[in-house]
Structure 1
Amino acid sequence: MPNLDSISQFLGLLIIPLETSYHLSQTLYATNLLEKSGMKDCKPVLAPLPTKLPTLIENSAPYQKPEFYEQLVGSLQYLTITRPDLSFAVNMLCQHMHKPYNLMFRLLKRVIRYIQGTLYSSLPIIPSSLEPPAYSDSNWAIDTTTRTSVTGYCAFLGTNLVSWCVKKQTTVARFFY
Structure 2
Amino acid sequence: MLHTKPISTPCIPNTRLSLHDGTKLPDPHAYRSLVGALHYLTFTRPDLSFVVHQVCQYMASPTSVHLMAAKRILRYLKGTLHLGISFKLGPLTLSAFTDADWAGDPDDRRSTSGLLVYLGPNPITWSAKKQLTVSRVLRKDLVVKFVSTLDQLANIFTKSLPPHRFLDLCSNLMATVRSPELEEGSAISPALVKQLHEDTRVGMMDCKKALSETGGDIVKAQEFLRKKGLASAEKKASRATAEGRIGSYFHDSRIGVLVEVNCETDFVSRGEFFTELVDDLAMQVAECP
Normalised by the size of structure 2, how large is the TM-score? 0.45
Pick from 116, 133, 147 the counterpart of residue 78 of structure 2: 116
Per the alignment, residue 12 of structure 2 pairs with 50
SS in 2 for 1:122: coil
Aligned-pair Cα RMSD in Å? 2.0
Per the alignment, residue 36 of structure 2 pairs with 74
Asked if the contact 2:18–2:106 (Cα under 8 Å) also holds between the matched residues in 1, the reply is: no
Q: For 1:3-14, list aligned pairs within 5 A.
A: none
Pick from 116, 119, 126 the counterpart of residue 157 of structure 1: 119
Question: Which structure is higher in RCO with an 8 Å CA cutoff and minimum separation 6?
Answer: 1
TM-superposed CA distance for 1:41, in Å, is 1.7
Q: Which has the higher helix share?
A: 2
Q: Distance in 1 between matches of 2:89 and 2:3?
A: 37
Asked if the contact 1:155–1:163 (Cα under 8 Å) also holds between the matched residues in 2, the reply is: yes
Per the alignment, residue 128 of structure 2 pairs with 166
SS in 2 for 1:124: coil
Q: Distance in 1 between matches of 2:30 and 2:121?
A: 38
Q: Distance in 1 between matches of 2:36 and 2:106?
A: 28
Q: Which has the higher strand share?
A: 1
Unaligned runs of 5+ in 1: 1-38
Q: Distance in 2 between matches of 1:176 and 1:120?
A: 52
TM-superposed CA distance for 1:95, in Å, is 0.5
Between the two proteins, the alignment pairs up a number of residues equal to 139
Q: Aligned pair in 2 of structure 1 residues 163, 48: CA closer, same or farther (>3 Å)?
A: same
Q: Distance in 1 between matches of 2:106 and 2:51?
A: 19
Q: Distance in 1 between matches of 2:84 and 2:99?
A: 24
Q: Which amino acid aligns with 1:96?
A: Y
Per the alignment, residue 104 of structure 1 pairs with 66
Normalised by the size of structure 1, how large is the TM-score? 0.71
Q: Distance in 1 between matches of 2:70 and 2:17?
A: 16
Unaligned runs of 5+ in 2: 134-187, 189-207, 215-289
